[in-house]
Amino acid sequence: MAALILHEYANSGNCYKIRLTAALVGVPLDRREYDILKGETRTPAFLTQINGNGRIPVLQIGEKLLPESNAACFWLAEGSPLIPEDRFDRADMLRWMFFEQYNHEPNIATLRFWLAFVGENALTDAQRASIPARRAGGDAALAVMERHLRGGAGFFVGDRISLADICLYAYTHVAHEGGFDLGAYPAISAWIAAVARTPGYLPITA
Amino acid sequence: MAALILHEYANSGNCYKIRLTAALVGVPLDRREYDILKGETRTPAFLTQINGNGRIPVLQIGEKLLPESNAACFWLAEGSPLIPEDRFDRADMLRWMFFEQYNHEPNIATLRFWLAFVGENALTDAQRASIPARRAGGDAALAVMERHLRGGAGFFVGDRISLADICLYAYTHVAHEGGFDLGAYPAISAWIAAVARTPGYLPITA
């Protein structure tokens, strides 16, 4: 396999997803850290050589570059049990991965980043004004997850872990850092514990 | 194949993506229309029977329900040339589909919906306050697309159409309805014309 380099900001749940997927499929990653608080992913060199969208993570596969965390997880997990073989289940896994990027990450990850890393006093007025909508959106996403897990078999797609779980876990298990109270979501809390018991699991701080 | 029903709001680009994918792979869809302006996807019946996330589209496959437009496109296109066979290209296709839902849709589709369907006078203050950021975000997404297409072989992944093109096309080709000037993006304009020449293509109004 070509050498794999993860261009990342280690505290980011989007980067952690990729590290966790790689660990669960047993693939080593080299890691290159960029401080997004210092704008290191918006430099001309980064924009021209790594990602014109100015964002991490980017998974480098030999000479090829793959932005978008969930796409990188998909590449890593191809052929592994983390992607269901059944056609509907595979699409249903992607359904939760798209839900994560649309309904979950912009609310829960953004509030975590603003409150735990940037600091509320350093936010712009527009950012601060959007907090109530992001708080409501994040709780709505958690409520959708809670109802789904209550009616299910332990994981998002069936009874075994898939990329759907890994991608949703990344920011859900640290949602309290964004001010979300996971005590209100018992099925999510049980699922978080189940993901962390997966053989090969590593924490976001690893 | 199980009967396919698309639960939709026909003007939505997210719903159109699914119709276009189905047309290109030659699969018929039954269609059920919901007026999102009248809250028809937030009724108790819709939330319990169709999608607890209160959103269209949902692709119904026999008794199973698949929300998230890009996941539904993936299900429909499995085994067709719309999904590249090469492992990197397949992940790169998903990369653009996640980009679409994260960087493109919340800006370009939202402004189109607000300005062309809801009406600017009917927006809330918070919605109106977010217009400049969405305008800038939409133009940034278009700029990323323009640069990529300029350096490429005509489509987002290589030299043939894939789901990456279909999913990005849906809201890009009507971006002017949200006040975006596609005249500033010549590579995007050429690509829009190329997508519309695909055998089996149907317009958003079909």
Partner-chain contact B68 A147, CB within 8 Å: no
Put simply, whether A109 touches B (Cβ < 8 Å) is no
Partner-chain contact A95 B129, CB within 8 Å: no
The whole-number pLDDT of residue B148 equals 96
Question: A123 with B106: CB under 8 angstroms?
Answer: no
The whole-number pLDDT of residue A151 equals 87
Q: Please give the Cα distance from A183 to A187 (Å, whole number).
A: 10
Calculate how close chain A gets to B70, using CA atoms only, in Å: 7
Mean pLDDT within A15-27: 98
- Ranges under pLDDT 50 in chain B: none
In this complex, the residue of B91, B126, B147 whose CB is nearest that of residue A74 is B91
Cβ neighbour number for residue A178 with a 10 Å cutoff: 21
**A interface test, pick of B1, B68, B75, B103 with most A CB neighbours within 10 Å:** B68
The whole-number pLDDT of residue A158 equals 87
Whether the per-residue pLDDT at A4 is higher than 80: the answer is: yes
Phi, psi of B80 (to 5 degrees): -105, 165
Whether the per-residue pLDDT at A1 is higher than 90: the answer is: no
Question: B71 with A98: CB under 8 angstroms?
Answer: yes
The whole-number pLDDT of residue B15 equals 98
The whole-number pLDDT of residue A39 equals 95
pLDDT-based confidence at residue A203 (cuts at 50, 70, 90): very high
Instruction: Provide the mean pLDDT of chain A.
Output: 96
In this complex, the residue of B66, B91, B103 whose CB is nearest that of residue A75 is B91
The whole-number pLDDT of residue A178 equals 98
Q: Domain B87-196, what fold?
A: Glutathione S-transferase Yfyf (Class Pi); Chain A, domain 2 (1.20.1050)
Number of residues written out for chain B: 206
Partner-chain contact B66 A88, CB within 8 Å: yes
In this complex, the residue of B68, B126, B130 whose CB is nearest that of residue A98 is B68
Give A162-184 pLDDT, tens digit per residue.
999 999 999 999 999 999 999 99
Of B184 and A151, which is predicted with more confidence? B184
Please report the DSSP string for chain B in residue order.
---EEEEE-TT-HHHHHHHHHHHHHT---EEEE--GGGTTTSSHHHHHHT-TT--S-EEEETTEEEESHHHHHHHHHTTSTTS-SSHHHHHHHHHHHHHIIIIIIIIIIHHHIIIIII-GGGS-HHHHHTHHHHHHHHHHHHHHHHHHHHTSSSSSSTTS--HHHHHHHHHHTTGGGGT--GGG-HHHHHHHHHHHTSTT---TT-
Partner-chain contact B126 A126, CB within 8 Å: no
Structure-token match 């050498």, residue found: A3
Q: Domain A4-77, what fold?
A: Glutaredoxin (3.40.30)
The whole-number pLDDT of residue A129 equals 87
Put simply, whether B66 touches A (Cβ < 8 Å) is yes
β-partners of residue B60 are B5, B65
Partner-chain contact B95 A130, CB within 8 Å: no
Put simply, whether A95 touches B (Cβ < 8 Å) is yes
Give B39-50 pLDDT, tens digit per residue.
999 999 999 999
pLDDT-based confidence at residue A2 (cuts at 50, 70, 90): confident
β-partners of residue A5 are A30, A60
Put simply, whether B165 touches A (Cβ < 8 Å) is no
Q: In chain A, which residues have their Cβ closer than 8 Å to the Cβ of B105?
A: 102
Q: Please give the Cα distance from B204 to B206 (Å, whole number).
A: 6
Mean pLDDT within A152-170: 95
Pull the structure tokens for residue A135: 């708080």
Q: What residue segments make up the domains of chain B, in order of their start?
A: 4-77, 87-196
Q: Please give the Cα distance from B97 to B166 (Å, whole number).
A: 9
Partner-chain contact B64 A94, CB within 8 Å: no
Phi, psi of B55 (to 5 degrees): -130, 150
Put simply, whether A25 touches B (Cβ < 8 Å) is no
Instruction: Determine the residue type at B142.
Output: L
Q: In chain A, which residues have their Cβ closer than 8 Å to the Cβ of B75?
A: 87-88, 90-91
The whole-number pLDDT of residue B4 equals 98
In this complex, the residue of A72, A103, A129 whose CB is nearest that of residue B53 is A103
Q: Please give the Cα distance from A112 to A101 (Å, whole number).
A: 15
Rg (CA), chain A: 17
Calculate how close chain B gets to A176, using CA atoms only, in Å: 22
Calculate how close chain A gets to B196, using CA atoms only, in Å: 26
β-partners of residue A8 are A33
- State which residue of chain B sits closest to A52, comparing Cα positions: B144
pLDDT-based confidence at residue A109 (cuts at 50, 70, 90): very high
Calculate how close chain B gets to A46, using CA atoms only, in Å: 14
The whole-number pLDDT of residue A126 equals 84
Nearest to A98 by CA among A152, A163, A143, A154: A163
State ipTM: 0.97
Partner-chain contact B68 A130, CB within 8 Å: no
Partner-chain contact A94 B102, CB within 8 Å: no
Calculate how close chain B gets to A203, using CA atoms only, in Å: 25
Put simply, whether A52 touches B (Cβ < 8 Å) is yes
**B interface test, pick of A70, A98, A134 with most B CB neighbours within 10 Å:** A98
